[in-house]
Chain A
Amino acid sequence: MITLESVAKSFGSVEVLTNLSLNLESSMSHCIIGRSGCGKSTLLKMMALIAKPDKGKITINGTDVTLLNEQECEKFRNQTISYSFQEPLLIPYMTSLENITEVLGIDKDMAIRELSRLGLSKRLDHLPSKLSVGEKKRVDIARAILKGSSILIADEPLSNLDPASSLMVMELLRAHANNGGSVIYSAVEPTDGKFADNIVNL
């Protein structure tokens, strides 16, 4: 379970999140919906231990992550959280397949299976520069799923995807929740919340 208590975050004079508190249950999918610039990505990054809140407390599976030092954060993030970026981040000198196998250090067959499920079987050996934004997004999501952490956080996973690809991605995210993991994803369109067990309006 993820609990946020009175969390605040600002960038300079711009307050992005103010006094935010919420509970996100485990083994469920949660969709955080809000307009652009409302702080969805910042919220997800704080839950993924990428950013730290200015104020408040974040508890993940009983651990107050705001108290962790750098090394403890690394260890906790590695064991507990998978993260997919809003702008798909892929290592430019690695192929789609290597962006998963070499970054995560996992078996090639597993990666090929997952990429195939996302319709990328013909893009395994392509470098990111040869992929469309939607394809890069799917590689990024496949990597987050294959990391195998209990909490999967995806920042706007359905943006830049066609309806068929969106469906494929959401099926995989739901499967993760069905297998006992937690999925937290963000979206701009309220309709994207239909895949989630719980919707949080930001």
Chain B
Amino acid sequence: MMAKIALHKIHRERIWSFAVVGLLAVGLVTWMIIPSISASLQAGLSSYSNNVSTYMFVYDTGRDHFSYRFPLEVSDKITSIPGVQKVFPIIDNITQFIDNSTVFTLANGTRIGAKGMIIGYQSAVIGGQGGFPQSLITLSAGKLPENEAGFVFNGVASTDFALNVTRTALLPVSTFNQEAKSSSYVDPQTSNEYIRINATAMGQMPYNPMLQQIMVLWSSSFLQQKLGATDYNHTFGGEGANFFIVKAQNIQQVEQIAGKLQSIFANYSGYSVIYDQAVVKSELSFQSGSSLLYLAIGVTCMFAVISIIFIITYVFISRRSWETGLLLSQGWNWRRITNLYISYYLTLGLVAIAISVPSSLLAASRFSLSFQAYDNTLTIPMVINPYLIASGTAICLLISALAAYFAIHRMRKMGLDNLLREF
């Protein structure tokens, strides 16, 4: 009977009912969306910090030791440092490109072109032992070369390499010993210590400041074929490594691991541990500082939604107290009246939940948060925590019922005569 009367009330007072449902749904959507945005943003930034800013690089910053290889035990030593998630030992060498269109701007503003400039880039092959880990390659354009005369570059197309444009590359061969000749210039164009090949930029990685040390990544099978087994093993293949990418489990451990790495490589002149100390510090500070803000947003949102639901229910019941008086005068008791209003508001609450949950999920699936970071768009998907759906449902139903109870309690104190006077 109560449900039937509640349904009549909803159906025949559609405008009021829609208004209540609309306001409840807005409150619920707010409850589900705002903390989700906060949580997604926090999780996204934390994930970004832990995935991007947790990389450290150990290499010869003097660029004199390309032919040097650390034994495998060094990798094991690094792996055993507490907090290290992964170690990527890489064989790093140089690739030089003949650039026929380099333009310089002089101090007086004059622009001059230079032909035949030779620019060297640190390089590695993709995947395999000593190769650049394929898991760290995310292409923003083009494709990975497969046994083709091509490479992937890490940078900005307009300033480094245009995609699909063939260039002349000079690759070192086994007779070349840069360490021995570091004091005397060797012209790569004429020296037989280099092999000239035509190669095309086939893929582009989005510019990533953490991975910028190695700019050119070759197809290993192509280089093996071009250089031959002996030269390949001497330059980009074989055992050992001269470049290490070290991944910490989380950003909090970066500084501590960097300290341990520095002591491991202390005896190797030229080798340094590189990581973006400023970014790590600012992200740590941002994370610790923003967690309170997100908590405050969540708590404020909760109180706002509870208040909205409570006030709506209370006001809408109290606006027609004579209706309660009439029912009492016709033999109803307070228990029946309480049941009627609670049935009514629970039904409206359920309708509001039925509208707001799919709406919030749809909104979350359609919209994602994104912001620019170092020329990259960092996308953070918005995920609605099931806890928010469950708590939103509970809040809507409980607070509606509680507000109905308080409104009825107030009417009960008014007395029947006063209730009927409101007509």
Contact = CB atoms under 8 A, between A and B. Distances in A.
24 contacts: A51-B417, A71-B333, A77-B328, A77-B329, A78-B332, A85-B329, A85-B420, A89-B322, A89-B329, A89-B420, A89-B423, A91-B323, A91-B326, A92-B13, A94-B5, A94-B8, A94-B12, A98-B8, A102-B5, A103-B326, A103-B327, A105-B1, A127-B12, A143-B330
A181 to B, nearest CB: 16
Interface in A9-59: 45, 48-52
B423 A147 contact: no
Contacts of A51: 416-417
B319 to A, nearest CB: 12
A74 B329 contact: no
B330 to A, nearest CB: 5
Nearest to A49: B416
B335 to A, nearest CB: 10
A93 B333 contact: no
A86 B90 CA distance: 95
A105 to B, nearest CB: 7
Contact of A104 (B331, B412, B415, B417): B331
Interface string B7-47: 01101110000000000000000000000000000000000
Interface residues of B, number: 25
A84 B2 CA distance: 23
A50 B4 contact: no
A133 to B, nearest CB: 14
Q: Which of A89, A104, A105 has the most CB of B within 10 A?
A: A89
B13 A104 contact: no
A95 to B, nearest CB: 9
Interface string B263-303: 00000000000000000000000000000000000000000
Contacts of B416: 49-51
Interface of B: 1, 4-5, 8-9, 11-13, 322-323, 326-334, 412, 415-417, 420, 423
A145 to B, nearest CB: 12
Q: Ordered nearest first, which 9 A-B pairs have the shortest CB separation?
A: A93-B12, A78-B331, A51-B417, A89-B326, A74-B333, A93-B9, A50-B416, A93-B13, A103-B330
Contact of B331 (A71, A94, A147): A147
Give the one of A75, A77, A87, A104 with max B CB within 10 A: A77
A41 to B, nearest CB: 10
Interface SS of B by simple majority: helix
A50 B417 contact: yes
Between B4, B13, B333, the greatest number of chain A beta carbons within 10 A of the residue's beta carbon is seen for: B333
Contacts of A85: 326, 329, 420
Contacts of A105: 1
Interface string A87-116: 101011110001000111100000000000
B417 A87 contact: no
A48 B12 CA distance: 31
Contacts of B420: 50, 85, 89
Contacts of A70: 412
Given A51-B417, A103-B326, 14 more contacts: A45-B417, A50-B416, A75-B333, A77-B328, A78-B332, A83-B330, A89-B423, A92-B13, A93-B11, A93-B12, A93-B13, A102-B5, A103-B330, A105-B1
